[in-house]
Amino acid sequence: MSELIARDKAYVANTYNRFPVEIVSGKGSEVFDAAGKRYIDMGSGIGVTSFGISDDAWKQAVTAQLDRVQHMSNLYYTEPCVRLAELLCERTGMKKVFFGNSGAEANECAIKVARKYAAEKKGPEYSTIITLVNSFHGRTLTTLAATGQEHYHELFQPLTPGFVHAPAEDIEALEALVREHRVAGILLECVQGEGGVIALSKEYLQAVEAIAKREDILLMIDEVQTGNGRTGELYAYMNYGISPDVVTTAKGIGGGLPLGAALLGEKAEAVLGFGDHGSTFGGNPVACAGAVSILSRMDDAFLADVREKSRFVFDSLKNAEGVESVSGLGLMVGIKTKKPAAEVLKTCMENGVLCLTAKDKVRLLPALNIPMEILAEAVEIIKRACV
């Protein structure tokens, strides 16, 4: 292990503060390190492995496609990409899908759509995108500009211009920005993930939607983390009774392979034309075949099960010793602990549970199909680590 760490330090860019653990195998919500120690995975690769590690049906779909064709350019038709777009539209009522390879790329597409929509309807000066303070939208220079957290911006100026940030839950502040700027769109997460697992209120999101409709600016929901069953509905916006114009997603949709998507509603579907946007890998048939397997198993019974597991986690933790509060939605959980989150994480790891953090909270994003008894075992270990 120390040898692997030394090689990583020598050759891999120094952007991650990794834990000194090498994961070599796993199944479902259990993973094993090089020494054979078992961990319960409560992070699922930051909400990516929706059905856990080495999921049989997903693997079958992926390998079957690998046996056919692993990649063609977007100059030709491939079935998995079409099937996935069709499934996404059927399940959401959205009209068209653009595929990329990551959350940041999905958001880049959304931002381009909003700007072109506004430029054609109102003029190119209507280019401002409003996002929220404490949001996270990605690491490219444009999605960093969208991200409403100054500390990500500092060393990378100048970022893409045309982004302003409104404090969440303050509808007057949003109205003021709409008055002061020529706005193309509003981009936000229903549950701020990296920002501390904070679910927005229904009243606020419905008020935001009303402003977007009134002003004819695109309402774009970043479902990169909240999407694909994570909150107990297929997409988080479905908990809020709103109809966004654009939905972006990535992380959990691919089940472990890189895949991002921008779902375009009625207002947005015809905005992009030939040559306006593209991606070499976007819509890759292997990634899409895996995603079709993931998405087609997320039926009503599956989502009800996610909500039931969510209730169990919230009920078990909310009054537990050493826990100040529990936030989030579905199986996207933030735990404000009395001890520093890093300390709780370390104890959990020693005791065989892998968790994440978000700001000053312990964050849980388990696989959505985590068996109840393994979930209960993990929650018990987390509770003990909080004391």
Ligand X SMILES: *Cc1c(COP(=O)(O)O)cnc(C)c1O
Q: Give the residue with the Cβ less far from ligand X, 231 or 381.
A: 231
Query: Min. distance of Cβ 236 from ligand X in angstroms?
Result: 10
Query: Min. distance of Cβ 351 from ligand X in angstroms?
Result: 27
Query: Min. distance of Cβ 333 from ligand X in angstroms?
Result: 15
Strands (E), 162-273: 163-166, 183-188, 191-192, 198-199, 218-222, 246-249, 260-264
At 270, list the tokens. 């015809």
Is residue 189 a contact point for ligand X (CB under 6 A)? yes
Q: Give the residue with the Cβ less far from ligand X, 132 or 374.
A: 132
CA distances from 273 to 49, 270, 324 (A): 33, 7, 50
Candidates 85-93, 98-106, 209-217, 336-344; binding stretch for ligand X (CB under 6 A): 98-106
Decide the pairing of beta strands 323-329 and 128-132: unpaired
Query: Min. distance of Cβ 220 from ligand X in angstroms?
Result: 11
Could you say which residues in the range 35-94 bind ligand X, by CB under 6 A?
A: none
Residue type, 316: S
Is residue 33 a contact point for ligand X (CB under 6 A)? no
Bridge partner residues of 313 (DSSP): none
At 171, list the tokens. 């509808």
Query: Min. distance of Cβ 258 from ligand X in angstroms?
Result: 8
Q: Give the residue with the Cβ less far from ligand X, 182 or 359.
A: 359
Could you say which residues in the range 119-178 bind ligand X, by CB under 6 A?
A: 136-138
The residue number whose beta carbon is nearest to ligand X equals: 103
Quick one: which of 103, 196, 244, 366 contacts ligand X (CB under 6 A)?
Answer: 103
- Tell me the H-state helices in 130-201: 141-146, 150-153, 171-180
Q: Give the residue with the Cβ less far from ligand X, 185 or 323.
A: 185
Phi, then psi, of 72 in degrees rounded to 5: -130, 165
CA distances from 328 to 123, 262, 297, 311 (A): 39, 24, 24, 11
Query: Min. distance of Cβ 256 from ligand X in angstroms?
Result: 13
Q: Rounded CA gap, 131 and 133, in Å?
A: 7
Quick one: which of 104, 113, 317, 332 contacts ligand X (CB under 6 A)?
Answer: 104
Query: Min. distance of Cβ 276 from ligand X in angstroms?
Result: 21
Is residue 245 a contact point for ligand X (CB under 6 A)? no
Quick one: which of 43, 100, 148, 193 contacts ligand X (CB under 6 A)?
Answer: 193
Q: Rounded CA gap, 283 and 113, in Å?
A: 18
Q: Rounded CA gap, 334 and 353, in Å?
A: 16
Quick one: which of 44, 65, 225, 249 contacts ligand X (CB under 6 A)?
Answer: 225
Is residue 102 a contact point for ligand X (CB under 6 A)? yes
Q: Give the residue with the Cβ less far from ligand X, 109 or 382.
A: 109
Q: With CB under 6 A, what is the number of residues at the site for ligand X? A: 15
Query: Min. distance of Cβ 75 from ligand X in angstroms?
Result: 25
Is residue 222 a contact point for ligand X (CB under 6 A)? yes
Residues 6+ apart with CB under 8 A from 125: 182
Candidates 10-18, 161-169, 189-197, 232-240; binding stretch for ligand X (CB under 6 A): 189-197
Which residue's entry shows tokens 């968790």?
355
Quick one: which of 62, 186, 217, 224 contacts ligand X (CB under 6 A)?
Answer: 224
Could you say which residues in the range 334-353 bind ligand X, by CB under 6 A?
A: none
**What DSSP string runs through 28-62?**
BTEEEETT--EEEESSHHHHT-TT-BT-HHHHHHH
Residues 6+ apart with CB under 8 A from 16: none
Decide the pairing of beta strands 246-249 and 218-222: parallel
Is residue 237 a contact point for ligand X (CB under 6 A)? no
Q: How many helices (H) and strands (E) does the chain have?
A: 13, 17
Q: Give the residue with the Cβ less far from ligand X, 127 or 226.
A: 226
Residues that bind ligand X (CB under 6 A): 102-104, 107, 136-138, 189, 193-194, 222, 224-225, 250-251
